[in-house]
Amino acid sequence: MKFLFIIDDIASLDPTHDSSVAMMEAAQLLSHDVYITTIERLSVVKGRGYAHVSPVSLKPVQKIDNHWYAERDWYRLGDWAFVPMDSFDAVLMRKDPPVTSAYLYATYILDLVDPQKTKVINSPRGIRAANEKMYALQFTSVIPDTIVSQDKEIIREFLREKKTVVIKPLGGKAGEGILLLHEGDKNFNSLVEISTKQGREPIMVQEYLPAAQQGDKRIIIVNGRPVGAVNRIPTKGEFRGNMAVGGTVAPTEITPRDWEICHTVGPQLLQDGLFFVGIDVIGGYLTEVNVTSPTGIREIDLLYNSTVAQTTILEIERFCRSHSHL
Ligand SMILES: Nc1ncnc2c1ncn2[C@@H]1O[C@H](COP(=O)(O)OP(=O)(O)O)[C@@H](O)[C@H]1O
Ligand SMILES: [Mg+2]
């Protein structure tokens, strides 16, 4: 099969950490042809989505002393060509957030890839439907108490009730702009003004979950089912667990409560074409549904000696075959 990965500049990827590289390697290992492109290289011609693509061959990372190691020249590109994206079996949209206008326009181009020939993962409609912070709000039985507002008085009232809250910009990722706020904080007004851009943008305000100190669990969900999980524990002096801000990874398990969350979320994910997703769970509560370019595969495969990357590619193969009309 032919796989196209829409990624950030390949030279900027970290092969020892990025799930996109793990999936490209797995696809190569499973004898698929792997190509890359970027959102800047997408076009529409005569109503058909096209891309400038390059084949890529990878030198797989090696596990040494419980770390991944990559060769300096871990990838090699071939000749670029301008081809219709429906010449691929699967197109994986793996551009990193934030969801900018350019990102959004790329999803509209992906709408013009023939779904009879090619599976786009995640579905461009699904990506547009699922703001990574707001999507979780529909699963009221498994999320912590949360409001979304730009109104200072509503936020103040919620803080009065909860005593400690976490503030989240709706377009953020990797811990950016996440703030911890206690009742009586002298910076309350200013922090809310900064976060809401002077009341012009809503933000998420969520009850603080003390269990976050024990970790923020990332569960990878493929085709509606959990395939692996990793815990991310905040580093000293920090309340955010994100790997990008120094959170350390640790093994964990998928508890009965986690299964319940996955069963709650899974069917909706499938309905929205969200095939490869990373959910965040803190103390048994769903806090975020990552759909753009979730990460965690490398960490999981290192900790457990597992092959989540290959499982993912095999699931994509099955998905492509099951929907094939050829
Ligand atoms: N309700 C919460 N209570 C305590 N800590 C939280 C809460 N929500 C998020 N955090 C912390 O903030 C980090 C980032 O939050 P998250 O909602 O996953 O946004 P993102 O990862 O997109 O920046 C989490 O890893 C966690 O450590
Ligand atoms: Mg997160």
Mean pLDDT of 302-306: 95
pLDDT bracket for residue 326 (50, 70, 90): very low
Quickly name the fold that domain 211-291 has.
Answer: D-amino Acid Aminotransferase; Chain A, domain 1 (3.30.470)
Q: To test ligand 1's pocket by mutation, which of 147, 173, 216, 277 has the most ligand atoms within 8 angstroms of CB?
A: 216
pLDDT, tens only, 249-295: 999 999 999 999 999 999 999 999 999 999 999 999 999 999 999 99
What residues flank ligand 1, with Cβ below 6 Å?
A: 144, 166, 168, 172-176, 178, 206, 208-209, 212, 216, 234, 239-242, 280, 282, 287-288
Q: What is the mean pLDDT of the chain?
A: 96
CA 6 / ligand 1 centre spacing (Å): 27
Instruction: List every span in the chain annotated with CATH 3.30.470.20.
Output: 211-291
| pLDDT value at residue 322 | 85
Residue 324 confidence (pLDDT) above 80: no
What CA–CA distance (Å, rounded) separates 311 from 314? Answer: 5
Q: Of 3.30.460.80, 3.30.1490.20, 3.30.450.20, 3.40.50.970, which CATH number belongs to 145-208? A: 3.30.1490.20
Mean pLDDT of 130-154: 97
Q: To test ligand 1's pocket by mutation, which of 218, 238, 242 has the most ligand atoms within 8 angstroms of CB?
A: 242
The closest ligand to the CA of 218 turns out to be 2
Q: To test ligand 1's pocket by mutation, which of 96, 166, 195, 239 has the most ligand atoms within 8 angstroms of CB?
A: 166
Residues with CB under 5 A from ligand 2 (ion): 280, 288
Residue 143 confidence (pLDDT) above 60: yes
The closest ligand to the CA of 212 turns out to be 1
pLDDT, tens only, 37-93: 999 999 999 999 999 999 999 999 999 999 999 999 999 999 999 999 999 999 999
Ligand 1: which atom is nearest the Cα of residue 209? Answer: 3
What CA–CA distance (Å, rounded) separates 86 from 118? Answer: 5
Query: Rounded to two decimals, what is the model's pTM?
Result: 0.95
Residue type for position 148: V
Instruction: List every span in the chain annotated with CATH 3.30.1490.20.
Output: 145-208
Strands (DSSP E) along the chain, which ranges?
2-6, 33-37, 42-45, 48-58, 62-64, 67-69, 75-77, 81-84, 90-93, 119-121, 146-149, 164-169, 179-182, 203-207, 216-222, 225-233, 248-250, 276-282, 285-290
Mean pLDDT of 128-134: 94
Burial of 318 (0-12, 13-18, 19+ CB in 10 A): exposed
Ligand 1: which atom is nearest the Cα of residue 239? Answer: 27
Which CATH code fits 2-122? 3.40.50.20
CA 263 / ligand 2 centre spacing (Å): 20
Neighbours of 319 (CB within 10 A): 17
| pLDDT value at residue 154 | 98
Neighbours of 172 (CB within 10 A): 19
DSSP one-letter code for 247? P
Ligand 1: which atom is nearest the Cα of residue 208? Answer: 3
Q: Whose CA is nearest to atom 11 of ligand 1?
A: 240
Reading the block at residue 185, the tokens are: 């904080």
Mean pLDDT of 199-215: 97
Residues forming the active site: 133, 168, 218, 232, 240, 280, 288, 290
Instruction: List every span in the chain annotated with CATH 3.40.50.20.
Output: 2-122
Mean pLDDT of 162-179: 95
| pLDDT value at residue 157 | 98
